[in-house]
Structure 1
Amino acid sequence: MTSSMTAFARVQIQEDWGSLVWEIRSVNHRYLEPHFRLMEQAREIEPALRELIRKQLKRGKVECSLKFQLVEKEQVLDLNRVLLEKLQLAVREVEAHFSRVAQVNPLEVLQWPGVQSNEETEMAVVHRAAIKGFNTALIQLNEMRQREGQELQSFIEARLDKMGDEVQRLRGLLPDILQSQREKILDRLAEARQELNPERLEQEMVILAQKMDVDEELDRLETHIAEVRRTLKSSGQGAVGRRLDFLMQELNREANTLSSKSIHAGLTQTAVNLKVLIEQMREQVQNIE
């Protein structure tokens, strides 16, 4: 399924411990490039968040912002008494080996990792909620990317239809264009009052036909148009934006060749119309994953 790289998602979670808000924005980029704006308390979950992104997205610059607010409540200290006893034994052992040891500051002991177990338990709950919320936001982001991708696909398919019409119209015009050029050659010979030489006329027509031989270009245009359609409808093949970008280059190359072979206003106009359609598609392809 065709997906856009431009999307936005916002998820808010409200719990007894407080609230958190995820905002994710993605725009087009050649590769997958995630950026995180996290509060210091959430830095340790960043690797898990990056892994979730890698599993669900393939291309795009993705900016992820997390904000959370803990509920202010009466502070109840839940001390890890087992750890306190171990710290006490360690202090006594140090005092036994050294004569001058500064008195232990109880407030500094409270800052020792693991002494206040309730804070660690609460942050673990917040981290789990943050990861869950991030996954929900990614799902929403993907849904929006797919909706945008369907609109882009419809836009491109409409231009492909017009390109196909231009190619068919030009095929129908070629015999008339050739006949028109033949008449111009006859008129020039008549104005110059030169005797009509059938062999000379045949040579001129052969040269003219060679200059106007655009069958290969038209065939390749139709082939590339069909390949763009197939790529848009392909599923399970990952990101298709790069392939579509390559096909736009190929389409543009054939349109340029048509323009270089132009000796008639009808052929010139067709080449211009094709270039305009290709450029419109190319601009939209830049947003496809």
Structure 2
Amino acid sequence: MKSVQAIERWITAIESSKQEACAKEQQIKAIVDLWKFADLYDQGTTITQKGELQLEDSDGRIDKISVATSDLFLTPKENAISKILSEIETEFSELGDRYRALYNVEFRNPEANFDAAEILKLKSEIISGIKGDVILYKYVERIRKLPSSEFRIVNRDFRILECSYEDIQRAIDQNYLLQSDQRQWLVIVLSAVDNNCRSFLIDETIKTAAFSSGFEKIFLFDFYTSEIIELNINAKAGTAIKGVPLVASGVA
């Protein structure tokens, strides 16, 4: 891994350049994203220059790989939590007056993203909490029960945004291969802060289906949970444009 001092020198050089503030911010973010990804992917990886990784194989041979980073901004969708709470409200409303009240559900910060199975576990926890069951809670911090003339569940700030196969393919299509004999990877960066949510619901198709791309490898990288998913690729000839920077926040 490139030393912290070297990374800091790159960032200082960008900050002191005459580029527009937005361009500086994008370049610095790309460096930080690549730095963290490389450290998690393989601590023996060296960042030899901005946008390039140096890997050593089992035979001791050194290979340089051009890596582009691209921010993934998801299309706004219904909060997955809202859908779950609506389903629970319907189920409990059919039970009569026994559970009639206003339930304010507070959640813990998730340590990883959700898939379909974990979403069902989350729903089960909420139901158990409302019923007063004694279980080991992973996601629910507390449930406050208040008087109400109807059964209602409220959630103030816990937002789960769905990440679909189409979202990923769209991000891939926005990035181009450079005209080079060098191996080229793409790292798609998922950020809860940038997408204004607390977590993501990862469509199971993302982990099983193949994406169309000319990149040798593509990774979905959650910056805050440090999760890395290597995507399956159905190789195709990429659009090679010499001298044209990669779309989005990649550093060529």
TM-score with structure 1 length normalisation? 0.23
Q: Which structure shows the bigger proportion of residues in strand conformation?
A: 2
Determine which structure has more spread, i.e. the larger CA radius of gyration: 1
Q: Which structure shows the bigger proportion of residues in helix conformation?
A: 1
TM-score with structure 2 length normalisation? 0.25
